[in-house]
């Protein structure tokens, strides 16, 4: 008797964040213009657990460079298990701070942000490195991506 092979389950994307799941146009107004294509997604969310952990500590951040600096300052005091949430927040900050940046998925479950000029960063890997005591803060990675894009954030 042969056993039936179990079909792999389909991995669905995580539910959108209840606070920052907006699909807003790029702030600079750049986009596809008359080509009829949709504007790039600027906020994908996925970091409610991070915001909740910060709120419990009395910290309220927005999706900005200043918010990233504030997160970097308290990150070591937060509970473990927030790598994905930190990565998604970091990615949304990159998209907002660096014009021409966009979300992309290179591998399922591993979202990246691509900056002008084509350089990209795996946002989950950036967060994992930072939370594991890596050598670079999130703001340093943002500044590095900005240099690769040829601007200053």
Q: Where are the beta strands (DSSP E) in the chain?
A: 102-107, 110-114, 120-122
- pLDDT over 80 (residue 141): yes
* pLDDT tens string 67-116: 999 999 999 999 999 999 999 999 999 999 999 999 987 777 789 999 99
- Specify which residues 13 forms β-bridges with: none
* Model confidence, pTM: 0.74
Residues 85 and 26: their CA atoms lie apart, in Å, by 22
What pLDDT was estimated at residue 8? 34
* pLDDT tens string 119-134: 999 999 999 999 999 9
């Amino acid at each position: 008797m042969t056993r039936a092979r179990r079909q792999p389950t389909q991995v669905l994307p995580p539910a959108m964040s209840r606070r920052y799941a907006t699909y807003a146009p790029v702030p600079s107004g750049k986009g596809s213009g008359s080509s009829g294509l949709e504007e790039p997604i600027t906020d994908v969310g996925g970091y409610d657990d991070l915001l909740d952990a910060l709120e419990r500590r009395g910290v309220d951040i927005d999706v900005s460079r200043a918010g990233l600096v504030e997160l970097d300052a308290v990150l070591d005091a937060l509970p473990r298990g927030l790598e994905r949430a930190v990565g998604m927040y970091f990615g949304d900050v990159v998209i907002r701070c660096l014009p021409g940046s966009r979300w992309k998925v290179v591998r399922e479950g591993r979202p990246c942000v691509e900056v002008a000029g084509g350089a990209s960063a795996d946002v989950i890997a950036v967060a994992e490195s930072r939370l594991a005591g890596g050598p670079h803060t999130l703001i340093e990675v943002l500044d590095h991506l900005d240099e690769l894009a040829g601007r200053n954030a």
